[in-house]
């Protein structure tokens, strides 16, 4: 992608040096610069991630022996609930759009900022507030023990502070809606001259499809959470059968949002993989349009499959059959993406750098997530697998192996553009290898246990599951050490890393054409775009 | 091993998807590794921009479509059977409450372990006294949610005389992991004897293999 060269002599201070109306911390928490907002999201999000990971560590430790190992049942139930709530609502849902999306969407579009910078800052504040409200429950009535799904009518029976957590989730929903609205508008209005829809980088396409789901599906979560609050405070029967409500209605409403939310989580990660594959193959992406359209297809089909979470609830035979059929339809655009990524390596000139390694492990782990998803779409098989460790392992393969590995890949890819420094590649590779091994030791074992009948959300297990549990626990240690090494390495790179070149990987999209770190408004002069986003070799020829 | 009327079909569904998945996963992984070695920049410093290939893209849209439709069909056929309860099924009332199971037979006998005759279709009528539970027999590869206010049914026939674990599979609070019982499948005569005596003496399974 050609753009006007940046005039080096008249460079403005970069976004980290720039001095605005406020200094110090206020210069961050009051900043409307999309790059600073992106980093603020990243900061909070990584803290939440590491906290929830620590809870996961203790959950696995509890399963080391039959009977009590460390904690009582109630504590364990609270741990998996809080782990799930943090990981879903505070980590993977805001996830990539709020962090890397905020930072790189305007850069990739050749825009000065997002369409509504102040709304963007408000989204961050809502995110922080929602999180704080959830954690307030720690001091008022106790954190919830319902599982992250808050199923009725247990949500009424429990003595823990469900309303507060539910209200927090409600607030987080607004943050998500506003981000989606902001991004969709930005892509409609602010693409650089010459950038048609199909010259837009695929990361943007992922964010575009995500944005629509955020705007359309999240209000349903909001309404559901409000109804839970109304029921709990005013005792009007909505979901609780004891006062005339319908618990299955709750599940429908919950999954009408929460299933599409799975695609909110994964589409941006897929976008990152679509950036990394061409860059490190030094060639254009294979099947650009197929990948772009399949994002939309996934968003659309994914909105119609929520009932596959409810095959065992006793919903009608016809409903089960239709939801099963639709579920399989989602598999098709997903398969198309995976195959196009692999084909992008063909006849490339491959550099096996850390971002590519993370992208490859994304493809591998996410594929397992996809295949196990197909197994759960098979009606008679899901009757057996539902609510076992198989499901737990499946969604970790998708959300962790997919979304989080995609985030890690993106962090390693864009780190030099965000901070102008480079981490140590050898340590990044070691961290990657440990993660890949530990991940499979933990979650593949859980797949096997699930197929053998180990139910999920179980504080304790029968003797014959103990070997599997021990193996999975050791796997969690390997995985977590890989993650910690990775974070230490990135932190070290941030503080002491060598200065990175402007375009260390030879990327072709607009963000890489900016000299050093981007200035406050990104481009001294709005670039003009010619050709596709990943034309590596045409450009090289032009240069000759 | 075949131990219930649904197990073989569930296992067949699993095997069908598993084999396809394994082949594809190996294919994808081997392709990635091969390309990385073959087209490493030390071996290939002249990359080629290939924008796509219509034939291939049609192929990998059509082939997955056919495969997943096959999976759908497999699941549907197996599931139809789970949904059709035979006329001659023995009826048992199941009540789930935090955190125990109770079984009531047609002659009024109540137990906290479920006794059934081998090879007899059993129709469980599921009711909850409080929150949602789920009656799960992993050995027979079948479960169904027990929802307050909704009278769900499930059925099965065990074809071996042994004990099967029963778990509650829908999270239901503190003691969820201990909401455990067993299905004990007895030879017809032992069952009849016990049933006639209205559960005076708990019957024993003769077969050596228990659980799982
Ligand atoms: C190092 C990392 C992690 C470990 C050791 C871990 C471990 C666990 C364990 C042991 C459970 C409970 C399983 C059960 O009994 O039902 C669980 C549940 C869960 N995990 Fe993780 N996990 C990790 C990372 C993640 C990530 C990255 C995500 C999301 C992106 C995630 C999302 C969830 C969710 C949604 C649940 C379900 C909670 C519930 O049942 O309410 N986990 N995890
Ligand atoms: Cu229960």
- Is A8 or A79 the better-scoring residue by pLDDT? A79
A478 lines ligand 1 (CB under 6 A): no
B157 touches B5 (CB < 8 A):
yes
Helix axis angle for A247-281 and A317-344, nearest 10°, is: 10
Question: How far apart, in whole angstroms, are the C-alpha atoms of residue B134 and residue A93?
Answer: 29
Our CA angle for A176, A100, A350, nearest 5°, is 140
- What stretches of chain B show up as alpha helix (H) in DSSP? 7-38, 54-83, 188-196
Who contacts A366 (Cβ-Cβ below 8 Å, separation ≥6)?
Answer: A266, A338, A397, A398, A401, A402, A405
Query: Which phi and psi (to 5°) does residue A388 adopt?
Result: -110, 180
Burial A55-72 (b: 16+ CB within 10 A, else e): bbbbbbebbeeeeeeebe
Residue A265: pLDDT over 60: yes
A121 lines ligand 1 (CB under 6 A): no
pLDDT digits (tens, 9 = 90+) for A118-140: 999 999 999 999 999 999 888 88
For B141, the closest of A146, A384, A535 (CB atoms) is A384
How many angstroms away from the CA of B154 is the closest CA of chain A? 9
Residue A447: the pLDDT is 97
Distances (CA, A) of A542 to A12, A468, A536: 29, 58, 10
8 Å CB contact between A428 and A486: yes
CA A480, A485, A490, A496 torsion-angle sign: positive
Residues whose CB is less than 8 angstroms from the CB of residue A10 and which lie 6 or more positions away in sequence, other chains included: A524
* Secondary structure (H, E, C), A295-340: HHHHHHHHCCCHHHHCCCCCCCHHHHHHHHHHHHHHHHHHHHHHHH
Predicted confidence (pLDDT) at residue B66 exceeds the cutoff of 70: yes
Residue A8 has pLDDT above 60, yes or no: no
Rounded-to-integer distance, Cα B29 and Cα A73, Å: 41
Strand ranges of the sheet holding B152-156, from the earlier edge strand across to the other edge: B110-111, B100-105, B90-97, B122-128, B152-156
pLDDT in tens, B133-175: 999 999 999 999 999 999 999 999 998 899 999 999 999 999 9
Helices A405-419, A354-377: crossing angle, 10 deg rounding: 150
Map out the domains of chain A as residue ranges. 28-543
For chain A, positions 225-254, list CB contacts with chain B under 8 A.
241-242, 246-248
Closest listed residue to residue A303, CA positions, set A180, A187, A220, A185? A220
Kindly report the pTM of this predicted structure: 0.93
Q: Is omega for the bond preceding A543 within 30 degrees of 0, making it cis?
A: no
For B:39-58, CB contacts with A below 8 A are 39-41, 44-53, 56-57
Cα A322 to chain center, whole Å? Answer: 28
Shortest CA distance from A344: residue in chain B:
B50
In this prediction, residues A23-31 reach a mean pLDDT of 86
CB neighbour list of residue A331: distance below 8 Å, 6 or more residues apart: A370, A373, A374, A377, B64, B68
B36 touches chain A (CB under 8 A): yes
Distance CA A395, CA A59 (A): 17
Q: What length does chain B have?
A: 212
What does the pLDDT look like over A371-393, one tens digit per residue? 999 999 999 999 999 999 999 99
Q: Quick one: pLDDT at residue B198?
A: 62
Q: Which residues contact A542 (CB under 8 A, 6 or more apart)?
A: A2
Contact between A312 and B167 using a beta-carbon 8 Å cutoff: no
Task: pLDDT band for A166, please (50, 70, 90 cuts).
Answer: confident
Q: pLDDT-based confidence at A57, cuts 50/70/90?
A: very high
Residue B107 has a CB neighbour count (10 Å cut-off) of 9
> Region B48-63: what's the mean pLDDT?
88
Q: What is the mean pLDDT of chain A?
A: 91
pLDDT cut 90: percent of chain A above it: 70
User: Ligand 1: which residue has its CA nearest to atom 14?
Assistant: A457
Q: Is the ipTM of this complex over 0.90?
A: yes
Please compute the mean of the pLDDT values over residues A472-487 and round it to a whole number: 97
Higher pLDDT, A57 or B44: A57
Strand-strand pairing, B142-146 and B110-111: unpaired
Q: Does B24 touch chain A (CB under 8 A)?
A: yes
Q: Is the pLDDT of residue A155 over 90?
A: no
pLDDT value of position B210 = 45
Distance B179 CA to ligand 2 centre (A): 6
Residues 113-172 of A with CB under 8 A from B: 145-147, 151, 153-154, 157-158
Is the predicted pLDDT of residue A6 greater than 60, yes or no? no
Q: How far apart are the first and last CA of chain B?
A: 12
Residue B90 pLDDT more than 60? yes
Q: Is the CB of A392 under 6 A from ligand 1?
A: yes
Helices (H), B53-176: 54-83
Query: Is the bond preceding A540 in cis, omega lying within 30 degrees of 0?
Result: no
Rounded to whole angstroms, the Cα distance separating A379 from A323 reads 9
Length of chain A: 544
- Give the confidence band of B211 by pLDDT, cuts at 50, 70, 90: very low
Query: For residue B206, what pLDDT band results from cuts at 50, 70 and 90?
Result: low
Answer whether A469's CB lies under 8 Å from A441's CB: no
Enumerate domains of chain B plus CATH numbers: 7-83 (1.10.287), 90-211 (2.60.40.420)
Q: What does DSSP assign to residue A283?
A: S
Superfamily of chain region A28-543: Cytochrome c oxidase-like, subunit I domain (1.20.210.10)
Give the pLDDT score at A4: 46
């Amino acid at each position: 992608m050609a753009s006007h060269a940046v005039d080096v002599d008249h460079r403005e201070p970069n976004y980290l040096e720039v001095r605005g109306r406020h200094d110090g911390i206020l210069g961050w928490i009051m900043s409307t610069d999309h790059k600073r907002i992106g980093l603020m999201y990243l900061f909070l999000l990584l803290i939440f991630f590491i906290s929830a990971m620590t809870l996961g560590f203790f959950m696995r430790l509890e399963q080391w022996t039959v009977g009590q190992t460390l904690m009582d049942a109630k504590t364990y139930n609270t741990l998996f609930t809080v782990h799930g709530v943090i990981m879903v609502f505070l980590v993977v849902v805001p996830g990539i759009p709020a962090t890397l999306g905020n930072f790189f969407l305007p850069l990739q579009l050749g825009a000065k900022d997002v369409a509504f910078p102040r709304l963007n800052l408000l989204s961050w504040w809502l995110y922080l507030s929602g999180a704080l409200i959830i954690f307030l429950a720690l001091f008022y009535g106790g954190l919830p023990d319902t599982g992250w799904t808050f199923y009725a009518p247990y949500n009424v029976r429990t003595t823990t502070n469900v309303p507060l957590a539910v209200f927090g989730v409600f607030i987080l929903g607004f943050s998500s809606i506003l981000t989606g609205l902001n991004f969709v508008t930005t892509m409609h209005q602010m693409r650089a001259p010459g950038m048609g829809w199909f010259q837009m980088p695929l990361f943007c396409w992922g964010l575009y499809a995500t944005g629509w789901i955020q705007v359309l599906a999240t209000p349903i979560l909001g309404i559901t959470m409000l109804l839970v609050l109304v029921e709990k405070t005013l005792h009007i029967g909505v979901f609780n059968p004891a006062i005339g409500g319908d618990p299955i209605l709750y599940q429908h409403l919950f999954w009408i949002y929460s299933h599409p939310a799975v695609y909110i989580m994964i589409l941006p990660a897929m976008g990152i993989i679509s950036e990394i594959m061409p860059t490190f193959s030094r060639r254009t992406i294979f099947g650009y349009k197929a990948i772009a359209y399949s994002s939309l297809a996934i968003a659309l089909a994914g909105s119609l499959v929520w009932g596959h979470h409810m095959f065992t609830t006793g919903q009608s035979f016809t409903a089960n059959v239709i939801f099963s059929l639709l579920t399989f339809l989602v598999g098709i655009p997903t398969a198309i993406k995976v195959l196009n990524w692999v084909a992008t390596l063909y006849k490339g000139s491959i550099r096996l750098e850390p971002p590519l390694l993370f992208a490859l492990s994304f493809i591998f782990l996410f594929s397992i997530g996809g295949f196990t998803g197909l197994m759960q779409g098979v009606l008679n098989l899901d009757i057996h697998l539902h609510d076992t460790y198989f499901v737990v392992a499946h969604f970790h393969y998708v959300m962790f192996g997919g979304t989080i590995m995609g985030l890690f890949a993106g962090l390693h890819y864009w780190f030099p553009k965000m901070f102008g420094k480079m981490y140590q590649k050898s340590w990044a590779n070691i961290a990657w290898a440990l993660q890949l091994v530990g991940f499979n030791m933990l979650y593949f074992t859980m797949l096997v246990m699930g197929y053998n009948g180990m139910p999920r959300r179980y504080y304790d297990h029968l003797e014959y599951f103990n070997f599997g549990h021990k193996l999975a626990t050791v796997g969690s240690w390997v995985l977590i050490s890989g993650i910690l090494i990775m974070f230490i390495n990135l932190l070290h790179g941030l503080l002491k890393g060598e200065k990175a070149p402007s375009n260390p990987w030879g990327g072709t999209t607009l963000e890489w054409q900016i000299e050093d770190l981007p200035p406050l408004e990104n481009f001294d002069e709005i670039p003009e775009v010619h050709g596709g986003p990943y034309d590596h070799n045409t450009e090289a020829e032009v240069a000759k | 091993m075949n131990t219930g009327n649904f197990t073989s079909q569930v296992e067949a569904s699993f095997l069908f998807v598993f084999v396809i998945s394994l082949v594809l996963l190996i294919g994808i992984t081997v392709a990635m590794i091969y390309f990385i070695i073959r087209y490493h920049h030390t071996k290939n410093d002249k990359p080629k921009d290939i924008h796509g290939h219509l034939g291939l893209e049609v192929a990998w849209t059509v082939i997955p479509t056919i495969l997943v439709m096959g999976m759908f069909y497999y699941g549907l056929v197996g599931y139809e059977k789970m949904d059709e309860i035979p006329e001659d099924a023995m009826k048992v009332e199941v009540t789930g409450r935090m955190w125990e199971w109770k079984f009531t037979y047609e002659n009024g006998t109540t137990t906290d372990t479920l006794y059934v005759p081998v090879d007899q279709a059993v129709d469980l009528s599921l009711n909850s006294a409080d929150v949602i539970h789920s009656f799960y027999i992993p050995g027979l590869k079948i479960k169904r949610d027990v929802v307050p206010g909704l009278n769900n049914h499930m059925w099965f026939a065990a074809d071996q005389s042994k004990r099967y674990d029963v778990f509650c599979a829908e999270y239901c609070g503190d003691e969820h992991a201990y909401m455990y019982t067993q299905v004990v499948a007895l030879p017809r005569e032992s069952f009849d004897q016990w049933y006639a005596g209205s559960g005076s003496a708990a019957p024993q399974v003769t077969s050596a293999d228990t659980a799982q």
